[in-house]
Amino acid sequence: MRRQFTVFDDLWGLVLRNPLATAAALAGLSALPLLLLMPLFGAPFDRDQAVYGVIARGWREGAIPYRDLWDNKGPVVFLWFVAAFTWLGENIVGPRLVAALAAGATVPFVWLSGATLLGRRAALLAALLFATSFANLFLQANANAEIFMLLPLAAGFWTFTQGARGRGLWWFGIAGILTALAVLTKQSAVWTLLGYALWLGILALRNPSERTRHLMAGVLLAAGTVLGFLPFAGYFYYHGALGDFLYGAFGFNLVFASRYPFFLKLIPPLLWNPLPLIGGAALWFLALLGAVHLWRRGDRLAWLILLFLVFSEVAAQSLGKSSPHYNVQLLPAAALAGSVGLQVVVDRWRAGQRRLGRVALACAAVSIAASAFVYARPAPEDRFQVQYALEDFLSDYAGRSVEAQEIAERVVALTEPSDYIYEFGRQSDIYFLADRRPASRWLYNRAYDVDPSVLDEILRDLEEKRPALILLTYECDFWTTEFRGCEDGPPAKLKTYMDQHYTYTGSVRYADFYVRRADAAAVGLPAPVAAGVEPVLE
């Protein structure tokens, strides 16, 4: 064992001392997220990713997000999809590829932050832990907002560390700009800004001689944040959509978050959806161990990493949902803390204290086994369903996305490319897969669940656009109730409108199809289906 450590130390020393070897190691680690995520490239879009795809497609065709196509995520995630579609065509692989490349581009910033705060040895360990964390496929890091947020979040943290080490106040302004971009990708990154402000505020209170510097740093951080927001605010103001943008990206989410019980916000998602905890057992153990040792160190740089970790966890659980991909935001901070934990494990092992090492090895074995279980599935679709195993047990989350392809094929058969359709539910992947335009900017009924008054606008949109087809796909069972009163059918106003203008023509999987009466004969469908008959579209 001693000989093995000597060989390892020689190789490790070469990588750390030689800039070219370091660059080569970082390049290899930066490629790892791409290699680890590639087996999921062909998996179906989930609901969120489909919404981003629909909005990106519409934006490319002249629609304005929020005003014409609504979602409650930040606009930067739509821009990532626009870029993927522009470069690689409108398909499900492009955004996954771009997301994996963005994750790989985050690796150098994790390394830079580690080198600034912990030294080059720990920095390389942090980059290694971060890059390999994407083998935990239970995090569902496919092409969701959290994975795109990582790049500006980690870059912002690195620039903040530059200011923290006294390398110029202007670094804090850059940190504000980059973290604002992270917030505009996924709003939970605002907690990181609060963590920065807390760190600067505590230092200003405890160190009167440095107070002016820390207050100025806070001002520059705030100024940079505003500067990061201004281009987007200006764009939406120019297009008459500033109010829609502020409501969709921020105002709605405050109301949405308030609907979840407060006690759920106190439970880390890793505890009440444990699959990502199992899949990342080694990283989480090392991060916890590293956090304990950073706490014991107690210096300001250790506290900066701790606050980054703590506020990333607060961001993951602040909504009060157990979605595994919320934990993706933890990865940069967990990797930095984990590098400290890994050094503790190695140092104690060398000193003959093997207990922590054995625990770490056991956690690594669990992580590897969990990843192997997912990777061993024969097709991307199968891996996708294993990723969402718990959600599928409760609401058939992944299964509905798999079945959406069959539904979309029937939509294509019943409509023309220029037709509008409307889907009342949350399966916006049907719009994307069928390549049909939504008849209302309210693409799915989450907004209706929060604010039932949006149904009046939906009905006005339906009257104006006269969609050729309306689909009812909402879930209403013990585990999932998408809106109040769903057990009695669609909302009364929508049902009345459909009774007046549409004919029920059967179902495909979970989707009930209603064709506009004026169009029914044109597509070879009978006049209104007789009462009690349940035709199935084949």
Q: In this predicted model, what pLDDT tens digit does every residue of 252-283 receive, in sequence order?
A: 999 999 988 998 999 999 998 899 999 999 99
What angle do the packed helices 93-117 and 300-317 form, to 10 degrees?
150
**Residue 109 banded pLDDT, cuts 50, 70, 90:** very high
- Are residues 286 and 320 located together in one domain of the fold? yes
496: domain range?
396-523
- Are residues 413 and 494 located together in one domain of the fold? yes
Does residue 53 form part of some domain? Answer: yes
Structure confidence at residue 381 (pLDDT): 93
Predicted structure pTM score: 0.93
Total number of domains in the chain? 2
* Region 317-334 average pLDDT: 94
**Residue 521 banded pLDDT, cuts 50, 70, 90:** low
Does residue 91 form part of some domain? Answer: yes
Q: Report the alpha-carbon distance of residue 260 to residue 20 in Å, rounded.
A: 51
Q: Report the alpha-carbon distance of residue 417 to residue 357 in Å, rounded.
A: 60
- Are residues 244 and 324 located together in one domain of the fold? yes
- Are residues 406 and 318 located together in one domain of the fold? no
- Are residues 73 and 185 located together in one domain of the fold? yes
What residue spans of 38-92 are helical by DSSP H?
47-60, 75-88
Does residue 485 form part of some domain? Answer: yes
Token couple for 193:
């800004």
Mean pLDDT of the chain: 92
Q: Report the alpha-carbon distance of residue 317 to residue 444 in Å, rounded.
A: 24
- Are residues 110 and 139 located together in one domain of the fold? yes
Rounded percentage of the chain residues whose pLDDT exceeds 70 = 93
Residue that finishes a domain, picked among 343, 375, 407 = 375
Residues 6+ positions from 252 with CB-CB distance below 8 Å? 72, 447, 450
Token couple for 248:
């969709």
**Residues 379, 426, 252, CA angle at the centre, nearest 5°?**
125
- Are residues 138 and 191 located together in one domain of the fold? yes
421 touches 411 (CB < 8 A)? yes
Does residue 74 form part of some domain? Answer: yes
Q: Report the alpha-carbon distance of residue 396 to residue 377 in Å, rounded.
A: 18
Name the strand (E) or helix (H) holding 182.
helix 170-183
- Are residues 455 and 488 located together in one domain of the fold? yes
Does residue 150 form part of some domain? Answer: yes
- Supply the CATH number for residue 508's domain: 3.40.50
- Number of residues written out for the chain: 538
The two beta strands, 511-516 and 420-424, are: unpaired
What tens digit of pLDDT does each residue of 37-75 get? 999 999 999 889 999 999 999 999 999 999 999 999 999
- Are residues 313 and 167 located together in one domain of the fold? yes
